[in-house]
Amino acid sequence: MQPNNTNNNMPLEVITFGCRLNAYESELIKQAAEQSAMVNDHTIILNSCAVTSEAERQLRQTIRKTRAANPNAKIILTGCAAQINPQKYAAMHEIDAIIGNEEKSKIDTYQSLSTYQGDKIMVNDIMTVTETAPQLVEAFAGKARGFLQVQAGCNHRCTFCIIPYGRGNSRSLPIGAIVEQAQKLVDSGYAELVLTGVDITDYGLDLPGQPTLAQMISRLLNLVPGLKRLRLSSVDVAEIDNELFALLTNEARIMPHLHLSLQAGDDMILKRMKRRHRRAQVIEFCQEIRKERPEITFGADIIAGFPTETEEMFTNTCGIIMEAGLTFLHVFPYSERDGTPAARMPQVSKQIRKQRAAILRQLGQKQLQEHLRNQHGKKINVVLEQGNLARAEDYCQVKIIDANESFQPGQVLNVLVTNDDGEKLHAQQI
C-alpha cells in the first residue's frame, strides 16, 4: 500500500497509509493539528495501517526516509500500527511521539505534544472506548466527494485480522449527528457522500433502540433532501437484512455499486477465516440484487493463499468472481499477523500466495474490461474528480475527452460513453 500526502504545504504534513477510513481520519488529524500550537513547527504525522505485514514494512521504510529528508522535523506516528504495537515503533529513533487511534483527532492531543517531554508513547487501551464522538471534516482537499464516518471498531474476530485490536469494538455515531454532518457537507457543495467505518453493516447495535443501518440511511436521505448521491464504503453480505436490501434496490440516490467484504470463495476457507457468510449466500445475493437493479456493480476484497488453501479451494475462489459477477477486486496475498489464530495454522508458501494473487488480479482485470466494453454508447451521470477524470455511478473511472477549464471537482455531468482504454471509460459531455 502506497502512502500519499494529504498536505504537502509546510509546516504541517500528514501522510496517509491504507483504507478510506484512514484517509477520512487524516483530514481530522490535519484539522486538529492546525488548530493547535503544532502548526508553528515543522511537523510530519504518519497515519499508519497494519492490515498486512507489507503495510508495516512500507511504513518503517517511509519513517526512515522521512527522517533522513527532514532531520529537524517533529515526526509523529499514529494509526493502527501505532495502536497495536507502540513499543515496537517507540524503539525507532526516527520517531518523536506515538499517539493512539482514539487520541489522533483531538486538538488537546497536539496541544499537549507541543510541550510534552515525557514518554513518547501516548496510546490508551482502545478496548475501553465505548463511544464515537461526532467529528466533521469541513472540506476534503482535492476530493470530489465527502466522507462521513458513521461507525468505528469491529465486534468480530476473523482469524486473519488484527484490526479490531487497533480499532476497538464497534461504536456507532447517533443518527442525529450523522444527519447534521451530512447537511453541513451538502451545504458546502458536495454532491456525493460516502458512509465509512470499519464494519458499517454492524451499525447501531450499541445505540439506544439499536437502529439498523437501513433505518439510519432512510432517515439520512429523508432529512437531507439535497444529498444527491450516497455510497457505502464496504458491506458484509451476512448482515444485509430485507430492509437494507430494499433500499439498495429501490433508492436511486444510493449509487449502484457495492464493495463486498468477501475474502474467499470456498466454504472451508471461509469457515477457517471465521467469516459469517458462505459461498452460495454471496452468489445468491449478487444475483438477486442484480435482478432488481441490473446496472449494479460489485467490488470485493479477496485474500489469496490463506492457510490450508488447496488448489481446489483456490479454484472455488476464482469461480466466485464470475458466478457473482465481481468487477472491482482488491486482492491481497495472505499476510501473517502475530497474535491472530490464522498465523498458527499450516501456511501456504509465499510464492504460491503471490502466484494466486496474480491469477485473481488477472481475472479481475478481465471482468473489468468486459464491463467497460458493455458501457459503450450509454449515457451516464458522472461526478468530476479532478482535471478531466470523473467517477460514474457504478464506480467506473471516466475520462472526459472534451473537458474544459470550467469543470470543477464535484460537478455532476451527463456524458456519452464512446470507448475505453482497458482501465477507464472515455466519454464526451452531452
Do 307 and 418 fall into the same domain? no
In this structure, the answer to whether residues 117 and 157 fall within a common structural domain is no
pLDDT for res 8: 43
As beta bridge partners, residue 300 has 260, 329
Question: According to the model, what pLDDT value does residue 139 have?
Answer: 55
Domain with residue 67: its CATH number is 3.40.50.12160
Judgement on whether residues 17 and 97 belong to the same structural domain of the protein: yes
pLDDT tens-place string over residues 19-60: 777 887 888 888 888 877 665 678 899 999 988 888 888 999
The number of distinct structural domains making up the chain is 3
385 shares a domain with 352: no
pLDDT(104) > 60: yes
Which tens digit of pLDDT belongs to each residue from 232-262?
Answer: 989 999 999 999 999 999 999 999 999 999 9
- My answer on whether 181 and 82 are in the same domain is no
Q: pLDDT band at residue 118, thresholds of 50, 70 and 90?
A: low
Return the pLDDT at 12.
86
- Buried b / exposed e over 406-415, threshold 16 CB at 10 Å, is ebebbeebeb
Range of the domain at 403: 379-429
The answer to whether the CB of 59 falls within 8 A of the CB of 42 is no
Flag whether 135 is in a domain: no
Shared-domain flag, residues 259 and 405 = no
Q: What is the mean pLDDT of residues 168-176?
A: 91
Average pLDDT over residues 219-242: 94
Longest dimension (CA), the chain: 64
- pLDDT-based confidence at 387, cuts 50/70/90? confident
Domain contains 119: yes
Q: Out of 374, 402, 420, pick the residue that ends a domain.
A: 374
What percent of the chain lies above the pLDDT cut of 90? 61
Domain edge (last residue) among 63, 90, 124: 124
| Residue 140 pLDDT level (bands cut at 50, 70, 90) | low
67 sits in which H/E element: helix 53-69
Whole-number pLDDT of residue 3? 41
Nearest-angstrom CA–CA distance, 2 and 301: 17
User: For residue 386, what pLDDT band results from cuts at 50, 70 and 90?
Assistant: confident
pTM: 0.84
Considering only residues 417 and 188, tell me which one the structure prediction assigns the higher pLDDT: 417
The lowest-confidence range among 35-44, 219-228, 355-364, 403-412 is 35-44
CATH code at position 212: 3.80.30.20
Asked, for residue 67, whether it belongs to a domain, the answer is yes
Using the CB atoms, write b or e for 8-25: b if 16+ within 10 Å: eeeebbbbbbbbbbbbbb
**Statement: residue 384 has pLDDT above 70:** yes
Compare 84 and 118 and report the one with higher pLDDT: 84
H or E, element range at 363: helix 350-374
Please indicate, yes or no, whether residues 99 and 197 belong to a single structural domain of this protein. no
pLDDT grade for 402, boundaries at 50, 70 and 90:
confident
Q: Is the pLDDT of residue 391 over 90?
A: yes
The answer to whether residue 130 sits within a structural domain is no
* Among 1-15, 17-31, 167-181, 330-344, the least confident range: 1-15
User: What are residue 259's phi and psi, to 5 degrees?
Assistant: -100, 120
**What confidence category does residue 143 fall into, taking pLDDT thresholds of 50, 70 and 90?**
low
Name the pLDDT band for 123 (thresholds 50, 70, 90). confident
356 & 390 share domain: no
For 50-94, the pLDDT digits (tens) are 888 888 889 999 999 999 999 998 899 998 988 888 889 989 999
**3-state secondary structure at position 193:** strand
- pLDDT at position 135 over 90: no
Look at residue 227 in the predicted model and tell me its pLDDT.
Answer: 94
Domain shared by 358 and 306, yes or no: yes
Residue 9 confidence (pLDDT) above 70:
no
Is the predicted pLDDT of residue 4 greater than 50, yes or no? no
- Over residues 390-396, mean pLDDT: 95
Residue 129 has pLDDT above 80, yes or no: no
Q: Do 27 and 108 sit in the same domain of this protein?
A: yes
Q: Are residues 411 and 364 in the same domain?
A: no
Q: Is residue 138 part of a domain?
A: no
The reply to whether 141 falls in a domain is: no
Residue 140 lies in a domain: no
Whether residue 415 lies inside any domain: the answer is yes
Q: Contact, 367 vs 394, CB < 8 A?
A: no
Residue where a domain stops, chosen among 329, 359, 374: 374
What rounded mean pLDDT belongs to the chain? 89
Give the pLDDT score at 37. Answer: 61
Predicted pLDDT at 33: 83
Query: Read out DSSP for 402-428?
Result: T--TT--TT-EEEEEEEEE-SSSEEEE
Same domain? 366 vs 386: no
